[in-house]
């Protein structure tokens, strides 16, 4: 019998509905067994742990590039565009080794768990050694990420990205790989599929108890349409998630139309890359027809609003996509900040700034994007709610911090989503295991020191 644990949450939002008071939660190993609201604090069984504040299901960070964490602040010097930011990002990409990537990713993932993230979708394209020479194990970089997640205590979906060409020029011409991009490419989608097969997942895509396999088409810029099919076909083998960057910049759309006579969403649709297991990341610059295509296919749209603001991408049509039928999930992408509560409220605030109206997404809808929809789009549909049978993730946000003091229980979820920060997260249980307690990471004892030690050598 797995260990049975019990918690008594002062307040809990269970993944849907209203905030509940006095919720007795029982888990057997990594799975929740019973969830009982309305239990008085003095009526709980002996040994029950108290969770003061508002307890949420686990938060999923559905779009991460772990190595971008090294660029925080650095890329805010001076001016520039997405494309000048990308040059600086490539400098760090060119320096990473499996060892330095492990150290950086472990520290970045530890920062995420401190912020309440229980599962990360790592959109991974830094596959090979410098100049594109594969490592002895061609998945050495991907394995470093899996190990990093295990050491930081959170679950991971390794979204192994196919990345073949250097981009599309505005006229639609395919550009050759720049020297640093050779690390990203397997040459062809068939060779991508061979390498990913050698990761060694089981027939369900399970890589380890904490890790599942997924795929990504980096973007229409980096994968020609005739190379998309092997990636799509691979995901059908065990129903794996398929992610792609979509229409982050107007230049991507212009190049796609020039090259193919189609928008990026239409190109992906033509390749069979849309559907309920697919997640389109950013989805910022869409036509009305694109929105209808994504909604009709029930593709998920992953918004990364802080990154989209930092990179001057634009504000995507979140409300229109949701109305069309797309679930929404959230990612911190470039990790300019790591705070899923911030990402959640920025979706609504972006809509307000664009429309001059309030109230497009309520706190529960935004929390559902961060929790249930985020996990579902990473291939963990059994996580992201506090219900019997779900994965035992609990994220407790203190309500006695300077930001949240005075919170009224009936509007506790609104307070946390619209005013809470990562720094207010105090306790994190992931798959039944304590990972953060009293704001301290239990597996990576000094997260700031780990971040500093990992980042410093990459920037000098």
User: How far out from the chain centre does Cα 441 lie?
Assistant: 20
CA dist., res. 337 & res. 334, Å (int) = 8
> Which residue number, 122 or 333, has a Cβ lying nearer to Zn ion?
333
Quick one: tokens of 116?
């309440």
- Segment near Zn ion (CB under 5 A); pick from 39-47, 84-92, 156-164, 331-339: 331-339
How would DSSP label each residue in 349-382? HHHHHHHS---SS-HHHHHHIIIIIHHHHTT-TT
Q: Single out the segment in contact with Zn ion by CB under 5 A; choices: 31-39, 228-236, 311-319, 327-335.
A: 327-335
247: left (phi over 0), alpha (psi -120 to 50) or beta: left
Name the token pair of 182.
Answer: 């050779």
Cβ closest to Zn ion, residue 143 vs residue 218: 218
Region from 29-37, 103-111, 140-148, 328-336 binding Zn ion, contact rule CB under 5 A: 328-336
Binding mask 383-422 for Zn ion (x = CB under 5 A): ----------------------------------------
How many other C-beta atoms are found inside a 10 Å radius of the C-beta of residue 97? 14
| CA distance linking residue 376 with residue 291, whole number of Å | 20
The tokens for 103 are 């150290």
Residue 335 is among the residues annotated as catalytic for this protein? no
Number of residues that bind Zn ion (CB under 5 A): 1
Q: Write down the least CB distance from residue 208 to Zn ion, Å.
A: 24
Q: Which is nearer to Zn ion, 333 or 351 (CB)?
A: 333
348: phi then psi, degrees, rounded to nearest 5:
-70, -40
Asked if 430 and 118 touch (Cβ cutoff 8 Å), the reply is yes
C-beta of 19 vs 369, nearer to Zn ion: 369
Beta pairing class for 31-36 and 20-28: antiparallel
Taking the C-alpha atoms of residue 301 and residue 248, their distance in angstroms, rounded to an integer, is 12
Rounded to a whole number of angstroms, the minimum distance from the CB of residue 349 to Zn ion is: 21
| Helix (H) / strand (E) containing 7 | strand 4-12
**Residue 115: CB minimum distance to Zn ion, A:** 18
User: Token pair of 56, please?
Assistant: 């949420």
Catalytic residue chosen out of the listed positions 313, 333, 339, 393: 333
Residue whose C-beta lies closest to Zn ion: 333
Q: Which is nearer to Zn ion, 55 or 279 (CB)?
A: 279
Question: Measured from the CB of residue 64, what is the shortest distance to Zn ion in angstroms?
Answer: 8
Q: Catalytic annotation on 42?
A: no
In terms of CB distance, is 307 or 407 closer to Zn ion?
A: 307
* Shortest Cβ 444–Zn ion spacing (Å): 24
Q: Which is nearer to Zn ion, 53 or 121 (CB)?
A: 121
In this chain, which stretch among 217-225, 292-300, 330-338, 375-383 interacts with Zn ion, using CB under 5 A? 330-338
- In whole angstroms, the minimum distance from the beta carbon of 63 to Zn ion comes to 6
Angle between helices 82-95 and 447-459 (to 10 degrees): 100
Q: Which of 8, 127, 282, 441 is catalytic?
A: 282
Find the Cα–Cα–Cα–Cα dihedral 143, 144, 149, 155, rounded to 10°: -20
Can you read off the two tokens belonging to residue 422? 């990562």
Tell me how far, at minimum, the Cβ of 304 lies from Zn ion, in Å: 7
439 φ/ψ sector (left φ>0, alpha ψ -120 to 50, else beta):
left
From the list 37-45, 329-337, 406-414, 440-448, the region that binds Zn ion by CB under 5 A is 329-337
Question: Which residues are designated catalytic?
Answer: 282, 333
Enumerate binding residues for Zn ion (CB under 5 A): 333
């Amino acid at each position: 019998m797995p260990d049975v644990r019990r918690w008594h949450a002062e307040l809990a939002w269970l993944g849907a509905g209203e905030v509940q008071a006095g919720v007795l939660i029982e888990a057997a190993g990594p799975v929740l067994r019973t969830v009982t609201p309305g239990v008085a604090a003095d009526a709980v069984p002996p040994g029950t742990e108290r969770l003061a504040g508002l307890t949420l299901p686990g938060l999923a960070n559905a779009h991460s590039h772990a190595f971008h964490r090294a660029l925080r602040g650095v890329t805010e010097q001076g001016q520039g565009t997405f494309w000048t930011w990308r040059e600086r990002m490539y400098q760090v990409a060119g320096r990473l080794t499996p060892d330095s990537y492990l150290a950086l990713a472990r520290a970045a993932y530890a920062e995420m768990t401190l912020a309440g993230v229980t599962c990360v979708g790592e959109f991974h394209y830094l596959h090979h050694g410098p100049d594109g020479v594969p490592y002895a194990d061609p998945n050495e970089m991907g394995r470093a990420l899996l190990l990093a997640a295990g050491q930081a205590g959170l679950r991971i979906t390794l979204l192994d990205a196919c990345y073949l060409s250097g981009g599309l020029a505005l006229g639609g011409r395919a550009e050759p790989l720049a020297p640093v991009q050779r690390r990203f490419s397997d040459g062809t989608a068939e060779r991508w599929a061979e390498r990913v097969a050698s990761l060694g997942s089981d027939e369900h895509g399970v890589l380890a108890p904490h890790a599942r396999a997924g795929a990504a088409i980096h973007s229409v810029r980096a994968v020609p349409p005739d190379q998309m099919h092997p990636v799509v076909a691979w995901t059908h083998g065990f129903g794996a998630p398929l992610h792609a960057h979509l229409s982050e910049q107007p230049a991507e759309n212009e190049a796609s139309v020039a090259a193919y006579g189609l928008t990026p969403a239409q190109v992906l649709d033509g390749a069979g890359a849309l559907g309920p297991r697919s997640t389109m990341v950013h989805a910022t610059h869409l036509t009305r027809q694109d929105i209808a295509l994504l909604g009709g296919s029930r593709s998920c749209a992953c918004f990364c609003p802080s990154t989209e603001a930092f990179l001057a991408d634009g504000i995507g049509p979140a409300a229109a996509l949701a109305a069309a039928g797309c679930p929404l999930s959230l990612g911190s992408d470039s990790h300019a900040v790591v705070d899923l509560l911030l990402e959640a409220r920025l979706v609504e605030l972006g809509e307000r700034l664009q429309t001059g109206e309030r109230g497009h997404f309520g706190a529960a809808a935004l929390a559902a994007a961060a929790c249930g929809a985020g996990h579902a789009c990473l291939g963990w549909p059994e996580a992201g709610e506090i219900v019997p049978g779900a994965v035992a993730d609990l994220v407790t946000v203190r309500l006695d911090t300077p930001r949240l003091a005075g919170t009224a229980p009936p509007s506790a979820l609104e307070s946390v989503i619209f005013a809470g920060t990562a720094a207010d997260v105090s306790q994190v249980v992931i798959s039944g295991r304590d990972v953060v307690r009293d704001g301290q990471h239990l597996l990576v004892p000094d997260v700031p020191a780990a971040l500093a030690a990992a980042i410093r050598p990459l920037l000098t």
